[in-house]
Structure 1
């Protein structure tokens, strides 16, 4: 009995292969996770984002203004999506995150260039994510000078324009100001989805699901009974992370706490309902953990937490919009760093509410099917 029997070994291998085939979730994870990592890292990740949306505030449209705009667009970093707007409108756009840059030209820009007075151009950059603006800012001086020198024929030793760069919201380019608020969303998603997803599967594995179903409770009541306690866990995590952000990392908080609290509550509610939805799909706690990881990985990469969101190709940005973390990162950074008000975060807030509704309806529908 001490030797190896090929017959017994073959029987054990067949048994294991049959078990793997029956566990379709594990088998799919083995194939899809490496493929997903290859696609995301190979195609979607770009640390030098280009074609960033920009706004132009220029009271007059002369040939020098047009030359400046064309030169900036030719660099590949700037896409002027809003042209000929007022300073107030531009301020609202950069606060909402609709544009990454605001380029302001003085009303007498053309006349001063012709006189050789070297007028100044103000370029305001959304520096909440320092890596997004660095490449675009580094090209400004050379591009602007060459563009106007071609128009005026001035000597290269006499720069025809001065560039004033104002890095908004994070002038020192401190990475923690961008990372730490985002960590709140990442931590909440990782813990709450996993814990909640294991709630219903734990009942099935322990054999207590029959007792739960015997109670005179509706599916909504059962779902609320499962998710509400984990919302309390989320509240503790929020308090810990926000205190650490302020006391340990010095992250500024210039917005309204009530606006931020409403966004966090909606995000946490979406996460716990998503976890409950996963628990209706999985049969074991291991499957629940695997499904959670399969959701967590692309969400982390495509949300704008690890890599600049605007640096990804269009299809990756579209895919990133289906994750609640993407919208929560926009919300929390806008409130904490920009002081955004409720109207400024209306879009990400509406997206989070939509996730709550969709996840809730799917969870209830799936729960009823599992009862049949």
Structure 2
């Protein structure tokens, strides 16, 4: 009974963090383009749209998370707790840092960690998921890059389409609708990350899990989503109303299509790559040099591996007790951190020698 209660508490806390991370980023384009100036109103609209998306179309991704990566008969209550704990911890740290992290990546990473611990993994399904993690953001970037070029020319030719033109009000409405569509797609795709393991273990029905998960995602968006909204909307690149619409409708449509096929997609990556596509069409590919972009890319790479390692360690400590595996993992982490620190020290020393005009 205690483990069951812990599983539900962690799952719903995770759902709140999903609302704060992936779902909150949905309104980034509208907020960044000043189509909606109130951060609180933006979060309320996101919450409502995400809840509707979860209730109306979240079932297929729940099946994938619950039984498509590892066999559902492995999902004991204790294992569900550890899988959710690994994913939640990774996502919570990212939210504190204000990084728009992919909830799909940390969830799948945590489930894979469990599969590796028990030597049971649907590898073909996992490879398909990872392939679409790469392809969908690239498609988003390419589409918005082309749309950005078209929009730039249109805005130069017809000034009424710009922020100060006579169509400003309707363009702002269009962009807010696009943000709501994107949040709807987030509800379809991301709520499964929190409730999928519960459903796979038979702890809750799909319908009830989606409804309750959707409520907690909405609460998380309202209470915790402000910093991620700020990062996506203001710190990557500023968008015009039409450019923001291009990002939102592109990302939302791609994720909705993926959700219908049961694919857990990193919505935040899709959205951010859409913003980057528009930015690249304006300023060239030098936008990739921005520190915030580099920071996000690094977290994207690390997040599934971090949640994989955390869940694997927890399982080896609490379920499949294997102290030798823990020693190897800890040693590898220490060696990696040490190597990175040594590399940074060497670069600093070389830079100092170069600046002083000296040598050995």
* TM-score (normalizing by structure 2): 0.29
Greater strand content: 1
- Which structure carries more helix by proportion? 2
TM-score, length basis structure 1: 0.28
Q: Which has the larger radius of gyration?
A: 1
